[in-house]
Amino acid sequence: SEPLVLVSDQGAVRTFTLNRPQALNSFTAALHRELLAGLDAAAADATVRCVVLTGAGRGFCAGQDLNDEGMGQDGTPADVEGVVERHYKPLALRIRSMPVPVIAMVNGVAAGAGANIALGCDMVIAARSASFIQAFSKIGLVPDGGGTWLLPRLVGRARALGLAMTGDKLPAAEAAAMGMIWQCVDDAALLETTMALAQRLAGLSSKALAATRQVIDDAGGMDFDAALSLEARVQGAMSRGHDFAEGVAAFLQKRPAIFKDR
């Protein structure tokens, strides 16, 4: 049978394509397992220096498959808490702890946890025809997949609550305008724009990029003084690696740097 996640490499960029287009790539337990295993393998593979997450067909991901196990539709009691703990939490944490940058290439609608998994990636590029929907309120739930933490940080409390309470469809261009995502591009340019960015990031110091994500997230929960100390500590660690010496040498010699720390 068709894999639920397609995996392909272009140089040091590994692309994961959610592959349940008939259900807008909504998450089943089996899809979660395949995706998590794939991300684990990418994290352990030193040849991978950037990850791209996208969807097959016209959608990016419609969130939880509301027909799958744990949803209570098959006569068994719903275990929504278990599904979130067992699947969405590990996935969101896995993305957040990848040793390389993760780009969401949002090709179409991203709804519910599908929207928030995209927003938890390091950079989000969406096609103009794509949209983001905090669908939870429509089925009597609260945002998950990291949305409660991410949304107010990305767009502020007022917009986070507005989006989460209404569940209104937010077009990609508006998401970009309010700073929720990195970029909205014409549909025809989505793949090329994303791959060019991915190759650029793959050529930088993976270690420094992963540490950049970490310090930016960690500093958000600290006072200014503590954040400055964190910067000093992590800067120290970075400066002892190969890539800092290479980066400075390459700059002074006016040549491209060849980074390898990961």
Site residues, ligand T3D (CB under 6 A): 23-24, 26, 62-67, 70-71, 80, 83-84, 109, 111-113, 133, 135-136, 139, 141, 144
For the record, the structure tokens of 69 come out as 């196990």
CB nearer to ligand T3D: give 27 or 244: 27
Distances (CA, A) of 197 to 48, 50, 87, 108, 254: 15, 10, 29, 19, 22
Q: How far is the CB of 57 from ligand T3D (least distance, A)?
A: 10
CB nearer to ligand T3D: give 109 or 208: 109
Q: How far is the CB of 145 from ligand T3D (least distance, A)?
A: 6
CB atoms within 10 A of CB 170: 24
Q: How far is the CB of 144 from ligand T3D (least distance, A)?
A: 5
CB nearer to ligand T3D: give 7 or 84: 84
Per-residue buried b or exposed e for 129-149, using 16+ beta carbons within 10 Å of the residue's own CB:
bbbbbbbbeeeeeebbbbbeb
CB nearer to ligand T3D: give 23 or 43: 23
CB nearer to ligand T3D: give 34 or 243: 34
Q: Which distant-in-sequence residues (6+ apart) come within 8 Å of 181 by Cβ? A: 106, 119, 124, 125, 126, 132, 172, 175
Q: Is 198 in contact with 103 (CB distance < 8 Å)?
A: yes
Q: How far is the CB of 130 from ligand T3D (least distance, A)?
A: 11
Q: How far is the CB of 13 from ligand T3D (least distance, A)?
A: 27
Which residues lie across from 54 on neighbouring strands?
Answer: 17
Q: How far is the CB of 65 from ligand T3D (least distance, A)?
A: 4
CB nearer to ligand T3D: give 83 or 104: 83
